[in-house]
Structure 1
Amino acid sequence: MKKGLVYGIISAFVALCIYSCERDDICAEAIVNTPKLVIEFFDANNPGNSKNVNSLLVREIENDSTILFNSTSTIAIPLKTDAIETKYIFNINSQSESGGLIDTLNFSYATVETYLNRACGFKADFIDFRARKENIEFDDINWIRDIQVRETTIDNESETHLYLFY
Protein backbone atom coordinates (compact mmCIF):
# COMPACT_ATOMS: atom_id res chain seq x y z
CA MET A 1 0.00 0.00 0.00
CA LYS A 2 2.74 2.43 0.98
CA LYS A 3 4.72 1.52 -2.13
CA GLY A 4 1.68 2.21 -4.35
CA LEU A 5 1.12 5.61 -2.69
CA VAL A 6 4.75 6.63 -3.23
CA TYR A 7 4.57 5.40 -6.85
CA GLY A 8 1.35 7.39 -7.38
CA ILE A 9 2.83 10.57 -5.91
CA ILE A 10 5.98 10.25 -8.04
CA SER A 11 3.90 9.56 -11.16
CA ALA A 12 1.69 12.57 -10.47
CA PHE A 13 4.75 14.77 -9.93
CA VAL A 14 6.40 13.61 -13.18
CA ALA A 15 3.15 14.10 -15.12
CA LEU A 16 2.73 17.58 -13.65
CA CYS A 17 6.30 18.49 -14.63
CA ILE A 18 5.85 17.21 -18.17
CA TYR A 19 2.54 18.99 -18.78
CA SER A 20 3.68 22.27 -17.24
CA CYS A 21 6.75 22.53 -19.48
CA GLU A 22 6.75 25.18 -22.15
CA ARG A 23 8.68 25.42 -25.38
CA ASP A 24 12.30 26.37 -25.05
CA ASP A 25 12.91 29.96 -24.12
CA ILE A 26 14.59 30.61 -27.45
CA CYS A 27 13.27 33.36 -29.67
CA ALA A 28 12.43 31.83 -33.05
CA GLU A 29 14.14 33.36 -36.07
CA ALA A 30 10.77 33.81 -37.76
CA ILE A 31 9.71 36.34 -35.13
CA VAL A 32 10.54 39.89 -36.20
CA ASN A 33 12.19 41.88 -33.44
CA THR A 34 12.84 45.62 -33.47
CA PRO A 35 13.32 46.64 -37.11
CA LYS A 36 16.22 48.68 -38.41
CA LEU A 37 15.86 51.80 -40.54
CA VAL A 38 16.22 50.78 -44.20
CA ILE A 39 17.80 53.47 -46.41
CA GLU A 40 18.20 53.38 -50.18
CA PHE A 41 20.54 55.68 -52.09
CA PHE A 42 19.71 57.31 -55.43
CA ASP A 43 21.48 59.42 -58.04
CA ALA A 44 20.50 63.07 -57.46
CA ASN A 45 20.90 63.82 -61.18
CA ASN A 46 18.77 60.83 -62.21
CA PRO A 47 16.38 60.17 -59.29
CA GLY A 48 14.91 57.03 -60.85
CA ASN A 49 18.22 55.17 -60.58
CA SER A 50 19.51 53.70 -57.35
CA LYS A 51 23.20 54.38 -56.78
CA ASN A 52 25.81 52.42 -54.85
CA VAL A 53 27.70 54.14 -52.05
CA ASN A 54 31.40 53.38 -51.70
CA SER A 55 33.22 53.27 -48.37
CA LEU A 56 30.23 54.64 -46.46
CA LEU A 57 31.08 54.88 -42.79
CA VAL A 58 28.02 55.36 -40.57
CA ARG A 59 28.47 56.33 -36.92
CA GLU A 60 25.90 57.17 -34.28
CA ILE A 61 26.92 60.45 -32.66
CA GLU A 62 26.48 59.30 -29.05
CA ASN A 63 28.12 55.93 -29.67
CA ASP A 64 31.61 55.02 -30.80
CA SER A 65 30.59 52.01 -32.85
CA THR A 66 30.71 52.42 -36.61
CA ILE A 67 29.39 50.44 -39.56
CA LEU A 68 31.21 50.36 -42.89
CA PHE A 69 29.20 49.71 -46.06
CA ASN A 70 30.88 49.07 -49.41
CA SER A 71 29.34 49.11 -52.90
CA THR A 72 25.70 48.88 -51.86
CA SER A 73 22.63 50.95 -52.64
CA THR A 74 20.66 49.87 -49.56
CA ILE A 75 21.67 49.84 -45.90
CA ALA A 76 19.92 49.09 -42.59
CA ILE A 77 20.88 50.87 -39.36
CA PRO A 78 19.41 50.65 -35.85
CA LEU A 79 17.46 53.43 -34.16
CA LYS A 80 17.57 54.01 -30.41
CA THR A 81 14.60 52.46 -28.63
CA ASP A 82 15.08 54.46 -25.43
CA ALA A 83 15.07 57.90 -27.06
CA ILE A 84 12.97 60.04 -29.42
CA GLU A 85 15.81 60.70 -31.85
CA THR A 86 19.00 59.19 -33.21
CA LYS A 87 21.74 61.18 -34.92
CA TYR A 88 24.11 59.59 -37.40
CA ILE A 89 27.19 60.82 -39.22
CA PHE A 90 27.35 59.58 -42.82
CA ASN A 91 30.88 59.68 -44.24
CA ILE A 92 31.05 58.70 -47.93
CA ASN A 93 34.40 57.72 -49.47
CA SER A 94 35.68 57.51 -45.91
CA GLN A 95 38.75 55.52 -46.90
CA SER A 96 40.00 58.08 -49.43
CA GLU A 97 43.05 60.23 -48.72
CA SER A 98 40.85 63.27 -48.12
CA GLY A 99 38.81 61.41 -45.50
CA GLY A 100 35.60 61.63 -47.50
CA LEU A 101 32.56 63.88 -47.30
CA ILE A 102 30.45 64.09 -44.16
CA ASP A 103 26.76 64.77 -43.54
CA THR A 104 24.86 64.50 -40.27
CA LEU A 105 21.28 63.24 -40.26
CA ASN A 106 18.81 63.50 -37.40
CA PHE A 107 16.05 60.89 -37.21
CA SER A 108 13.12 61.64 -34.88
CA TYR A 109 10.23 59.34 -33.98
CA ALA A 110 8.00 57.97 -31.25
CA THR A 111 8.53 54.44 -29.99
CA VAL A 112 5.74 51.90 -29.47
CA GLU A 113 6.70 48.74 -27.61
CA THR A 114 4.85 45.45 -28.06
CA TYR A 115 5.30 42.37 -25.88
CA LEU A 116 6.05 39.36 -28.10
CA ASN A 117 6.58 36.51 -25.63
CA ARG A 118 8.79 35.44 -22.78
CA ALA A 119 11.60 34.25 -25.03
CA CYS A 120 11.71 37.30 -27.32
CA GLY A 121 10.69 40.01 -24.88
CA PHE A 122 9.56 43.32 -26.35
CA LYS A 123 9.66 44.66 -29.90
CA ALA A 124 9.86 48.38 -30.59
CA ASP A 125 8.19 49.93 -33.62
CA PHE A 126 8.78 53.54 -34.64
CA ILE A 127 5.95 55.89 -35.61
CA ASP A 128 5.87 59.49 -36.84
CA PHE A 129 9.33 58.97 -38.33
CA ARG A 130 11.03 62.11 -39.64
CA ALA A 131 14.47 62.76 -41.07
CA ARG A 132 16.37 65.99 -41.48
CA LYS A 133 19.85 67.02 -42.47
CA GLU A 134 21.84 69.09 -40.02
CA ASN A 135 24.15 71.93 -41.07
CA ILE A 136 22.04 72.79 -44.10
CA GLU A 137 23.83 76.13 -44.33
CA PHE A 138 26.75 74.14 -45.80
CA ASP A 139 24.61 72.53 -48.52
CA ASP A 140 27.13 73.42 -51.22
CA ILE A 141 29.73 71.09 -49.64
CA ASN A 142 27.37 68.40 -48.31
CA TRP A 143 27.16 65.20 -50.34
CA ILE A 144 23.52 64.36 -49.56
CA ARG A 145 21.36 66.57 -51.78
CA ASP A 146 17.85 65.48 -50.76
CA ILE A 147 16.01 63.32 -48.24
CA GLN A 148 12.68 61.64 -48.85
CA VAL A 149 10.81 59.78 -46.09
CA ARG A 150 8.95 56.88 -47.72
CA GLU A 151 7.39 55.34 -44.60
CA THR A 152 6.53 57.19 -41.40
CA THR A 153 5.95 53.89 -39.57
CA ILE A 154 8.90 51.54 -39.21
CA ASP A 155 7.60 48.12 -38.21
CA ASN A 156 9.57 45.79 -40.51
CA GLU A 157 12.71 45.64 -42.63
CA SER A 158 11.05 44.39 -45.81
CA GLU A 159 10.41 47.87 -47.19
CA THR A 160 12.58 50.94 -47.66
CA HIS A 161 11.81 53.71 -45.17
CA LEU A 162 14.07 56.51 -46.42
CA TYR A 163 15.54 57.61 -49.75
CA LEU A 164 18.77 59.61 -49.85
CA PHE A 165 19.78 61.39 -53.07
CA TYR A 166 23.40 62.28 -53.78
Structure 2
Amino acid sequence: MKKTSLLLMLLILTGIGATISCEPDDICPESTPTTPSLIIDAYDVENPENKKAVTSLLVGGVDNDNVLPGYAIVSATQIILPLKTDADTTQYVLMKGAFVNNNGTPDDTSDDYYDGNTDIITINYTREEVYVSRACGYKTIYKNVTLTVEPENNEENWIKSRQPLNDNQSVEDETETHFNIFH
Protein backbone atom coordinates (compact mmCIF):
# COMPACT_ATOMS: atom_id res chain seq x y z
CA MET A 1 0.00 0.00 0.00
CA LYS A 2 2.86 2.37 0.88
CA LYS A 3 4.59 1.59 -2.39
CA THR A 4 1.41 2.28 -4.37
CA SER A 5 0.83 5.58 -2.53
CA LEU A 6 4.45 6.59 -3.02
CA LEU A 7 4.31 5.70 -6.70
CA LEU A 8 1.04 7.60 -7.13
CA MET A 9 2.49 10.63 -5.33
CA LEU A 10 5.60 10.53 -7.53
CA LEU A 11 3.50 10.39 -10.71
CA ILE A 12 1.36 13.32 -9.58
CA LEU A 13 4.38 15.45 -8.71
CA THR A 14 6.09 14.58 -11.99
CA GLY A 15 2.93 15.54 -13.88
CA ILE A 16 2.69 18.87 -12.05
CA GLY A 17 6.36 19.61 -12.70
CA ALA A 18 5.89 18.87 -16.39
CA THR A 19 2.85 21.13 -16.54
CA ILE A 20 4.66 24.01 -14.86
CA SER A 21 7.70 23.75 -17.14
CA CYS A 22 5.74 23.52 -20.42
CA GLU A 23 6.33 26.15 -23.07
CA PRO A 24 3.37 27.88 -24.74
CA ASP A 25 2.28 26.32 -28.02
CA ASP A 26 4.60 27.12 -30.86
CA ILE A 27 1.92 28.63 -33.09
CA CYS A 28 2.61 31.84 -34.95
CA PRO A 29 -0.29 34.23 -34.22
CA GLU A 30 -2.03 35.68 -37.28
CA SER A 31 -1.40 39.15 -35.88
CA THR A 32 2.38 38.69 -36.14
CA PRO A 33 3.82 40.59 -39.13
CA THR A 34 5.44 38.21 -41.61
CA THR A 35 7.02 38.75 -45.03
CA PRO A 36 5.32 41.89 -46.42
CA SER A 37 3.90 42.41 -49.89
CA LEU A 38 4.57 45.39 -52.15
CA ILE A 39 1.69 47.89 -52.14
CA ILE A 40 1.03 50.08 -55.18
CA ASP A 41 -1.61 52.84 -55.32
CA ALA A 42 -3.05 53.93 -58.67
CA TYR A 43 -3.53 57.63 -59.50
CA ASP A 44 -4.90 59.67 -62.39
CA VAL A 45 -2.04 60.85 -64.61
CA GLU A 46 -4.02 63.98 -65.57
CA ASN A 47 -4.94 64.83 -61.98
CA PRO A 48 -2.12 63.32 -59.88
CA GLU A 49 -3.73 64.09 -56.51
CA ASN A 50 -6.71 61.81 -57.23
CA LYS A 51 -6.70 58.07 -56.99
CA LYS A 52 -8.04 56.38 -60.12
CA ALA A 53 -9.18 52.78 -60.35
CA VAL A 54 -7.52 50.54 -62.89
CA THR A 55 -10.53 49.05 -64.65
CA SER A 56 -10.71 45.44 -65.73
CA LEU A 57 -7.33 44.75 -64.13
CA LEU A 58 -5.74 41.34 -64.42
CA VAL A 59 -2.46 40.55 -62.66
CA GLY A 60 -0.41 37.48 -63.42
CA GLY A 61 3.07 36.10 -63.38
CA VAL A 62 5.42 36.47 -66.30
CA ASP A 63 5.85 33.36 -68.48
CA ASN A 64 2.97 31.48 -66.89
CA ASP A 65 -0.81 31.42 -67.12
CA ASN A 66 -1.41 31.92 -63.39
CA VAL A 67 -3.59 34.84 -62.40
CA LEU A 68 -2.80 36.33 -58.99
CA PRO A 69 -5.70 35.47 -56.66
CA GLY A 70 -8.05 38.43 -56.33
CA TYR A 71 -6.91 40.02 -59.59
CA ALA A 72 -8.89 38.26 -62.32
CA ILE A 73 -10.48 41.21 -64.13
CA VAL A 74 -11.29 43.57 -61.26
CA SER A 75 -11.29 47.32 -60.70
CA ALA A 76 -8.75 48.45 -58.11
CA THR A 77 -7.06 51.60 -56.82
CA GLN A 78 -4.54 49.51 -54.87
CA ILE A 79 -2.50 46.51 -56.01
CA ILE A 80 -0.85 44.22 -53.44
CA LEU A 81 1.91 42.03 -54.86
CA PRO A 82 3.91 39.34 -53.08
CA LEU A 83 7.63 39.40 -53.82
CA LYS A 84 9.87 36.38 -54.23
CA THR A 85 11.84 35.38 -51.15
CA ASP A 86 14.35 33.30 -53.13
CA ALA A 87 15.33 35.82 -55.83
CA ASP A 88 16.20 39.51 -56.10
CA THR A 89 13.70 40.18 -58.90
CA THR A 90 9.96 39.64 -59.29
CA GLN A 91 8.00 40.33 -62.48
CA TYR A 92 4.28 40.71 -63.04
CA VAL A 93 2.02 41.24 -66.02
CA LEU A 94 -0.52 43.98 -65.31
CA MET A 95 -3.28 44.03 -67.90
CA LYS A 96 -5.72 46.96 -68.03
CA GLY A 97 -9.00 46.59 -69.89
CA ALA A 98 -8.62 42.81 -69.66
CA PHE A 99 -11.21 40.51 -71.18
CA VAL A 100 -11.50 36.88 -72.16
CA ASN A 101 -10.92 36.51 -75.89
CA ASN A 102 -12.85 33.45 -77.07
CA ASN A 103 -10.74 33.26 -80.24
CA GLY A 104 -13.89 33.28 -82.39
CA THR A 105 -15.13 30.01 -80.88
CA PRO A 106 -17.55 30.85 -78.06
CA ASP A 107 -18.54 27.21 -77.51
CA ASP A 108 -14.93 26.00 -77.17
CA THR A 109 -13.27 27.41 -74.03
CA SER A 110 -10.06 25.44 -74.56
CA ASP A 111 -8.65 28.13 -76.87
CA ASP A 112 -9.74 31.16 -74.79
CA TYR A 113 -7.12 33.59 -73.54
CA TYR A 114 -6.90 36.93 -71.74
CA ASP A 115 -6.42 40.02 -73.85
CA GLY A 116 -5.99 43.73 -73.06
CA ASN A 117 -3.39 46.46 -72.67
CA THR A 118 -0.42 44.69 -71.09
CA ASP A 119 2.46 46.24 -69.15
CA ILE A 120 5.17 44.19 -67.48
CA ILE A 121 6.59 45.50 -64.24
CA THR A 122 9.95 44.39 -62.89
CA ILE A 123 10.66 44.82 -59.20
CA ASN A 124 14.31 44.60 -58.13
CA TYR A 125 15.47 44.52 -54.51
CA THR A 126 17.93 43.11 -52.01
CA ARG A 127 16.60 40.64 -49.44
CA GLU A 128 17.25 40.55 -45.73
CA GLU A 129 16.14 37.73 -43.44
CA VAL A 130 14.86 38.92 -40.04
CA TYR A 131 14.18 36.61 -37.09
CA VAL A 132 10.59 36.97 -35.85
CA SER A 133 10.21 34.25 -33.19
CA ARG A 134 10.62 30.54 -32.63
CA ALA A 135 7.02 29.92 -33.68
CA CYS A 136 7.07 32.23 -36.71
CA GLY A 137 10.67 31.71 -37.83
CA TYR A 138 12.12 34.30 -40.21
CA LYS A 139 10.57 36.86 -42.50
CA THR A 140 12.07 38.55 -45.51
CA ILE A 141 12.25 42.32 -45.82
CA TYR A 142 13.19 44.03 -49.05
CA LYS A 143 15.67 46.91 -49.35
CA ASN A 144 16.54 49.27 -52.23
CA VAL A 145 13.34 48.39 -54.08
CA THR A 146 12.94 49.68 -57.63
CA LEU A 147 10.03 49.26 -60.02
CA THR A 148 10.36 49.57 -63.79
CA VAL A 149 7.76 49.28 -66.54
CA GLU A 150 8.67 47.36 -69.67
CA PRO A 151 9.15 48.31 -72.36
CA GLU A 152 10.40 51.67 -71.09
CA ASN A 153 8.98 54.87 -72.64
CA ASN A 154 6.48 53.02 -74.82
CA GLU A 155 3.47 55.18 -75.80
CA GLU A 156 1.23 52.11 -75.66
CA ASN A 157 1.99 51.51 -71.96
CA TRP A 158 -1.03 52.24 -69.81
CA ILE A 159 1.26 52.95 -66.83
CA LYS A 160 2.57 56.40 -67.73
CA SER A 161 4.85 56.87 -64.72
CA ARG A 162 5.70 55.47 -61.31
CA GLN A 163 7.02 56.97 -58.11
CA PRO A 164 8.47 55.42 -54.95
CA LEU A 165 7.16 56.97 -51.75
CA ASN A 166 10.68 57.12 -50.25
CA ASP A 167 14.25 57.35 -51.49
CA ASN A 168 15.92 53.96 -51.10
CA GLN A 169 12.44 52.43 -50.87
CA SER A 170 12.13 49.42 -48.62
CA VAL A 171 9.27 46.99 -48.10
CA GLU A 172 9.14 46.16 -44.41
CA ASP A 173 5.55 47.03 -43.57
CA GLU A 174 2.41 45.68 -45.20
CA THR A 175 0.24 48.55 -44.01
CA GLU A 176 1.78 51.37 -46.05
CA THR A 177 1.99 52.16 -49.75
CA HIS A 178 5.41 51.72 -51.35
CA PHE A 179 4.87 52.99 -54.93
CA ASN A 180 2.38 55.09 -56.84
CA ILE A 181 1.60 54.49 -60.48
CA PHE A 182 -0.07 57.04 -62.73
CA HIS A 183 -2.33 55.98 -65.60
TM-score by length of 1: 0.90
**Residue 71 of structure 1 corresponds to which residue in structure 2?**
75
> Separation in 1 of the partners of 2:17 and 2:36?
39
**Residue 120 of structure 1 corresponds to which residue in structure 2?**
136
**Residue 163 of structure 1 corresponds to which residue in structure 2?**
180
Does 1:140 find its partner at 2:141?
A: no
AA matched with 1:42: Y
Match of 1:85 among 82, 89, 102: 89
Q: What displacement does 1:103 show?
A: 0.5
AA matched with 2:42: F
Q: What displacement does 1:96 show?
A: 6.7
Task: Name the stretch that deviates more: 116-125 or 89-98.
Answer: 89-98
Match of 2:119 among 103, 118, 130: 103
Query: 2:39, 2:81 within 8 Å by CA — same for their partners in 1?
Result: yes
Task: Name the stretch that deviates more: 10-19 or 31-40.
Answer: 10-19
What is the DSSP-based 3-state SS (H/G/I as helix, E as strand, rest coil) of the residue aligned with 1:88?
Answer: strand
Give the root-mean-square deviation of aligned CA atoms.
1.9
Task: Name the stretch that deviates more: 17-26 or 103-112.
Answer: 17-26
> Separation in 2 of the partners of 1:113 and 1:37?
16
> Separation in 1 of the partners of 2:148 and 2:158?
14
> Separation in 2 of the partners of 1:60 and 1:164?
19
Between structure 1 and structure 2, the one with the greater Rg is 2
Query: 2:57, 2:76 within 8 Å by CA — same for their partners in 1?
Result: no
What CA deviation, in whole Å up to 9, does each residue of 1:69-121 have, x standing for no partner?
62221121100011101011111111176921011111011111112223222
**Residue 28 of structure 2 corresponds to which residue in structure 1?**
27
Identity %: 34
> Separation in 2 of the partners of 1:144 and 1:75?
13
Unaligned runs of 5+ in 1: none
